[in-house]
Structure 1
Amino acid sequence: MRSIGRLLAALLLLSAGVPSLQAATLAQKVQEHTFANGLKLLVVERPGAPVFSAYLTVGVGAVHETSNDRGVAHLLEHLRFKGTETIGIRDYRQEQPLLKDIELTGSELDRLRNESKPDPRTIAALEQKLAGLQERHTQLVIKDEFAQIYARNGAVGYNAFTSKDLTSYIVSLPANKLELWASLEADRMRNSVLREFYTERDVVMEERRRSYDSDADGLLYESLLATAFTVHPYRNPIIGWPTDIANLSPAVTRSFMERYYSPVNTVIALVGAVDFAQAVAVVENYFGSIPPGTPIPNITTVEPPQRGEKRVTVEFDAEPRLTVAFHKPTLPARDDYVFDVIDHILSQGRTSRLYRSLVVEQQLATSVRSFGAPGYRYPNLFVIKAIPRHPHTVTEIETALYAELQRLATEPVSEELLVRVRNRLRVDHLRILQSNGGLARMLTFHQSISGDWRYLIDYEEQIASITAEDIQRVAATYLVPANRTVAVLQKKGI
């Protein structure tokens, strides 16, 4: 994923690329309201096309999990599509006792599977019982009713995603469907039912096998994070480790949801043909009476300074590849802005240094790219990935890569290059800001991560103030051997 920082520049230039904002700055156009239960609403009125985009972002993600519930935020993203007491089910009163039987049977099955000497006959009997209960339950379920309702009302882009830091539910709708959106999302927040739990847990297990265990890039990235971070929870995969997923229970999942998926941790952004006063009234009507919930705790675990290079080798039946990561600060540190510029200099586009050197001139690699990862709430990593071009090796790429990083630390970049990078940043960001959804995402992201969407306003000014000396200093400070983690994927038997 490209650095979120690079999605945030040129907001004071919106009038040039987004006519609906006219000559006003973003600071003047964003209207906000905080409700009594802690829910935050951000609105940008764009009275052009009769549509709006809605982002509902809960500031909870994989970083907030513990050893008892790793993977739960991602699983909840799946489960909260299943419906509520009135959506996704034919008869909730008939469903309730069946859900209890399913939970009791599934929990006993999990307990027996974790015994040192499980009885296969007992397990087989319970598996058969659980399958029968789930089959009965299927007869009561209305599949994908949330999505069906939205589709019937002209919605597009209905989706959700979970990251290390937050979870977002997104959709775009006709302007006259604001109340429908509020009623559906408030119902989801207040009355979500974790139905089809064990079925969906199996789906996530299969997703993990497909995206990590059986995928070269996923496996290497997961190994990189687990090596680069010693204690910080950024080391854990969003999807969870296999045993984490297998041992998630309905009770633990429900407890996590009821604590954190609540107004005090939620930011809503509505961008498009929306009237602010109407939006406040509608959101108050549907969300206002929901209890605040428990504020998400700050992660007190601090990753200790790295005191030497770390390396990990992963064997897999795929072509070799290299990933190198360096610890770095996150927003709002000035050095995080500098890394946005460094990222562009090194790997964004065919004229970037790494592409030109490794791919074009030396022909050592077929591809190379850099990005910030894995999250943005806490200090993170600057990551560089490259794939060798046959017959060249990972070692050759690594040597050439470090030469370019050393050059960045010792040779000042030209003012011409800095101007070109700033212009590219502006163009990239304006493309995203032309969409209602792009702006809504950025507003909820920064309100959730940094506590104030206004972080966006001075981004262009910060980027414009970065000097060649800043780039040299940051490269010499962070892009050094003692601060790097190297993950190499090689074929089995080599």
Structure 2
Amino acid sequence: MNAILKYALKCASVPALVVSLAMPAQAGVNLPVHKEVLDNGLTVLLHPNKQAPTVSCRLFYVTGSVHEVPGKSGLAHILEHELFKGTKKVGVTDSIADAAFMAREDSLQALIRPAKLAGDTATVKKLTAEHDSLLNEQRKLFVKDELWGAYQSAGGTGLNAFTTDLMTAYIVTLPKDKIELFMWLESDRMQNAVLREFYSERDVVREERRMRYDDKPTGRFFETMNSLIYEAFPYRVPTIGWPSDIMNLTREMADEHYRRYYKPRNAILVLAGDLDTASTMEMVKKYFGNIPAGEAFPPITVRDPEQVGEKRFTQVRPDAPNLYSLVFKTAEVGDPSLYALDIAEGVLNGRSGRLYKRLVEEEKLAVSVKAGNSPNKYVSEFSVMVSMKLDADVAKVEKIVWEELERLKNEPVSERDFQKVKNHAYAGLIRSFTDMENVATMLAWYEMYGDYHIFLNWADALEKVTPAQVQEVAKATFVRDRSVVGILKKNR
């Protein structure tokens, strides 16, 4: 279940220990969850657990890069940043004067855009200076980081936010007697966010993209890889946005998106920890129940055409590591085939896995290798990533990878290996249930996928997988004509 792990690495508050998440019946783990959908569409999940006097709070907005139209990539990501700027009540001393400043700044930006297109640098420079002068005056009204500070003053920990292709998440863990603060701040942010300092924040995002993607060899490599895996489906769109799109986003675009979609109909609220279900639900209804539902996103109907042959590309850079990446598209989360692929991942992966033994220990071609079964909504991926030594023969690395994939297709996994993989998954699960931050995040994530029960029932489904099913799914999945290969090489 490395899709979750992939996003966890972006956010320190999401534990990275969870690889396969499930609840084996024999483990005796009880995870009571109260689910309720308010009349306005807000989905609420509550998990009471008194192991510590804290509550982990999650608010997921089911809006990400899959919902962005051409020309507006990066919109959800910049809104993640902007929603920390405050509201009409938070982050400002005079909301009326604040609104007047923003109206004047928007008018200047509306003049700057056509001047840029016309190449009129003198006008752009003059208007930009006027805009920045107004912004400096407006900043005198700001109470910097007031929302963030309110959580910290209340003893909040793990405060963070992140955006993915499917959603934007706001997370914090609070003392149990402070969860009403979360309700107040987040219901206010859901209704009254003000997108202050938008254009300076846009420059921050552009610089973030430059550091993480444009100037980073692995960043551009994986972005290119993604654009080959998905021909039409919007997973090909980078969550941070394309460079040209970022610099053409406007505050009006972001504000319209927020007003339409950052609303209860597209939100999942999860609380896990020391709480009383009945009183907490009353509090949720008090703060969120009267917020208008907002608009639903149009259904995503586009799908990739069937792949008709292997896709392959190579990038060579002087500052690059040596990487070999192999990816296959698989069924969406919840499909039975993914449980068998979890077993395949476990057999291939880790220091005791077949790929590590062959490529690192025996042939000494690689410094690390990992296989990943990554369930996702709409379409998933199974990948193999090899960090090769500088002098490694790429053709030999690829040959060994395919030999091990073919072995999964042609030989049943031994009972010992089968049980080892399951035991590892169960052990990770039991550890993960001691962490309410992890529980809250996983409940929200799988509810976003369609049903949090997928999370709870994963190990039961894994237990039912047979060696014959692993072979059958491997034969259907590991097909050369449906593979995407990326090779990143260092200049020598």
TM-score range, shorter chain: over 0.9
Equivalence for 1:135: 136
Q: The residue matched to 1:139 in structure 2 has which SS?
A: helix
Q: The residue matched to 1:3 in structure 2 has which SS?
A: helix
Stretch deviating more after TM superposition (242-251 or 311-320) = 311-320
Q: 1-side partners of 2:185 and 2:27: how far apart?
A: 32
Q: Residue type matched to 2:414 in 1?
A: S
The reply on whether 1:310 has 2:323 as its aligned counterpart is no
Q: Aligned runs of 1:43-122 on 2, under 5 Å?
A: 43-113=46-116, 115=117, 117-122=118-123
Equivalence for 1:20: none
Equivalence for 1:458: 457
Does the Cα contact within 8 Å between 2:333 and 2:380 map onto a contact in 1? Answer: no
Q: 1-side partners of 2:327 and 2:242: how far apart?
A: 21
Question: Deviations 1:266-311 (Å, cap 9, x if unpaired)?
Answer: 1111111110111111111111110001123321001111110011
Q: 2-side partners of 1:88 and 1:316: how far apart?
A: 45
Q: Tell me by how many angstroms 1:15 deviates.
A: 4.5
Does the Cα contact within 8 Å between 2:322 and 2:390 map onto a contact in 1? Answer: no
Does the Cα contact within 8 Å between 1:3 and 1:340 map onto a contact in 2? Answer: no
Equivalence for 2:37: 34
Q: 2-side partners of 1:13 and 1:168: how far apart?
A: 33
Equivalence for 1:341: 343
Equivalence for 2:382: 382
Q: TM-score, normalised by structure 2?
A: 0.94
Instruction: Classify 1:410/1:50 alpha carbon distance in 2 versus 1 (closer, same or farther; 3 Å).
Output: same
Q: The residue matched to 1:142 in structure 2 has which SS?
A: coil
Stretch deviating more after TM superposition (271-280 or 384-393) = 384-393
Does the Cα contact within 8 Å between 2:326 and 2:383 map onto a contact in 1? Answer: yes
Does the Cα contact within 8 Å between 1:321 and 1:394 map onto a contact in 2? Answer: no
Instruction: Classify 1:57/1:356 alpha carbon distance in 2 versus 1 (closer, same or farther; 3 Å).
Output: same
Q: The residue matched to 1:306 in structure 2 has which SS?
A: coil
Q: Aligned to 1:10, which of 18, 23, 33?
A: 23
Equivalence for 1:489: 488
Equivalence for 1:440: 440
Equivalence for 1:415: 415
Q: The residue matched to 1:295 in structure 2 has which SS?
A: coil
Does the Cα contact within 8 Å between 2:308 and 2:482 map onto a contact in 1? Answer: yes
Q: Tell me by how many angstroms 1:372 deviates.
A: 4.2
Question: Deviations 1:70-123 (Å, cap 9, x if unpaired)?
Answer: 11011111111111011111211111111112222223323332x2x4112112
Equivalence for 1:469: 468
Q: Tell me by how many angstroms 1:370 deviates.
A: 2.4
Gaps of 5+ in 2: 5-17
Q: Tell me by how many angstroms 1:68 deviates.
A: 3.3
Q: The residue matched to 1:271 in structure 2 has which SS?
A: strand
Q: 2-side partners of 1:391 and 1:490: how far apart?
A: 10
Equivalence for 1:244: 245
Q: The residue matched to 2:97 in structure 1 has which SS?
A: helix
Q: Tell me by how many angstroms 1:14 deviates.
A: 6.2
Stretch deviating more after TM superposition (466-475 or 5-14) = 5-14
Moved over 6 A (4+): none
Q: Tell me by how many angstroms 1:67 deviates.
A: 0.5
Question: Deviations 1:466-485 (Å, cap 9, x if unpaired)?
Answer: 11111111211111110111
The reply on whether 1:402 has 2:390 as its aligned counterpart is no
Equivalence for 1:351: 352
Q: Percent identity?
A: 34
Gaps of 5+ in 1: 17-24
Q: Residue type matched to 2:69 in 1?
A: T
The reply on whether 1:153 has 2:154 as its aligned counterpart is yes
Q: The residue matched to 1:33 in structure 2 has which SS?
A: strand
Question: Deviations 1:325-380 (Å, cap 9, x if unpaired)?
Answer: 11111211111222222111112x2101111111111110111112245x711112
The reply on whether 1:223 has 2:216 as its aligned counterpart is no
Q: 2-side partners of 1:11 and 1:140: how far apart?
A: 55
RMSD: 1.7
Q: 2-side partners of 1:108 and 1:357: how far apart?
A: 62
Q: 1-side partners of 2:220 and 2:337: how far apart?
A: 29
Q: 1-side partners of 2:108 and 2:382: how far apart?
A: 46
Q: 1-side partners of 2:393 and 2:238: how far apart?
A: 28
Q: 1-side partners of 2:2 and 2:384: how far apart?
A: 12
Q: 2-side partners of 1:475 and 1:104: how far apart?
A: 58
Q: How many residues align?
A: 478
Q: 1-side partners of 2:26 and 2:94: how far apart?
A: 53
Q: The residue matched to 1:302 in structure 2 has which SS?
A: coil
Does the Cα contact within 8 Å between 1:338 and 1:466 map onto a contact in 2? Answer: yes
Question: Deviations 1:450-480 (Å, cap 9, x if unpaired)?
Answer: 1x22223321121011111111112111111
Q: Residue type matched to 1:367 in 2?
A: S
Stretch deviating more after TM superposition (458-467 or 167-176) = 458-467
Stretch deviating more after TM superposition (131-140 or 324-333) = 131-140
Q: Tell me by how many angstroms 1:490 deviates.
A: 2.5
Q: 1-side partners of 2:109 and 2:395: how far apart?
A: 49
Instruction: Classify 1:64/1:35 alpha carbon distance in 2 versus 1 (closer, same or farther; 3 Å).
Output: same
Q: Tell me by how many angstroms 1:47 deviates.
A: 2.1
Q: 2-side partners of 1:7 and 1:218: how far apart?
A: 26
Does the Cα contact within 8 Å between 1:324 and 1:383 map onto a contact in 2? Answer: yes
Q: The residue matched to 1:463 in structure 2 has which SS?
A: helix
Does the Cα contact within 8 Å between 1:330 and 1:377 map onto a contact in 2? Answer: yes
